[in-house]
Amino acid sequence: MGDTSDPREQIVDHLGPMRAFALNLTRNAALADDMVQDAIVKAWTNIDTFEAGTNMRAWLFTILRNTYYSHHRKARREVEDVDGVYSSSLSQKPDHDGRLQLMDFQDAFSHLTDEQREALTLVGAEGFSYEDAALMCNVAVGTIKSRVNRGRARLAELMSLEEDEALEMTDAVTSGIVSSP
């Protein structure tokens, strides 16, 4: 027997990941929440285009990323955490273990391209397959793999520069990261 419940009731279960994805795209907490709000409204009013039984999170993420890129094109400028809103939110808990390391990571992450942050978030953080991520981004699977690998390599490079210790990234190491799946 099929599920007859309203799929819109499930949207709330995906809001946390949607906010995290939006924040990784925009690097601006206020803008991220605006993007999520717009995506919720679009999803709610277009729920008839959602196919029951398919991956709702992927559907919502697709709407969210399209919302972001639409806004991004209109703004015609890079959307960054210019006010330090997002960064400051991380510094509100200075006693947290590894806080500084996490801030270093966030700083390095912000230097990636939109596409690299998006691919790393979808595959590395959210756990989508390369194939699903490629569908969501409307690009080839190889393109997603390339973005993930280049993003990882760039992060490794940036973080090694920041840390000033250990992890001296040789060409061989960088090549190893780039060639890993």
Partner 1 sequence: MTDDQQSDKAQADIDRSLLRAYHEVINEDLPDRFKVLLERLKQGEVPEAQNEDEKPSGSDEQQG
User: Tokens standing for 171?
Assistant: 């060409």
Q: Please report whether residue 161 would count as binding partner 1 according to CB under 8 A.
A: no
For partner 1, which residue of 25, 27, 28, 65 counts as binding (CB under 8 A)? Answer: 65
CA dihedral 141, 143, 148, 149 (to 10 degrees): 110
Q: Does 52 bind partner 1 (CB under 8 A)?
A: no
Say if residues 36 and 64 touch (Cβ distance below 8 Å): yes
Q: How many angstroms separate the CA atoms of 106 and 110, rounded? A: 6
How many other CB atoms are found less than 10 A from the CB of residue 102? 13
Ranges within 103-142 binding partner 1 (CB under 8 A)? 105-106, 109, 120-121, 124-126, 132, 135-136, 138
C-alpha to C-alpha distance for 46 and 2, rounded to whole angstroms: 21
Question: Do residues 112 and 144 make contact, with C-beta atoms less than 8 angstroms apart?
Answer: no
Among 10, 13, 44, 111, binds partner 1 (CB under 8 A): 44
Nearer to partner 1, 141 or 173 (CB): 173
Number of residues that bind partner 1 (CB under 8 A): 68
Minimum distance from CB of 115 to partner 1 (Å)? 16
Record the tokens describing residue 39, joined without a space. 């995506």
Q: Residue 8 gets which letter from DSSP?
A: G
Applying CB under 8 A, the residues found at the interface with partner 1 are 8, 11-12, 15-17, 19-20, 23-24, 31, 33-38, 40-46, 49-51, 54-55, 58-59, 62-67, 70-71, 74, 98, 101-102, 105-106, 109, 120-121, 124-126, 132, 135-136, 138, 152, 155-156, 159-160, 167, 169-170, 172-173, 176-177, 180
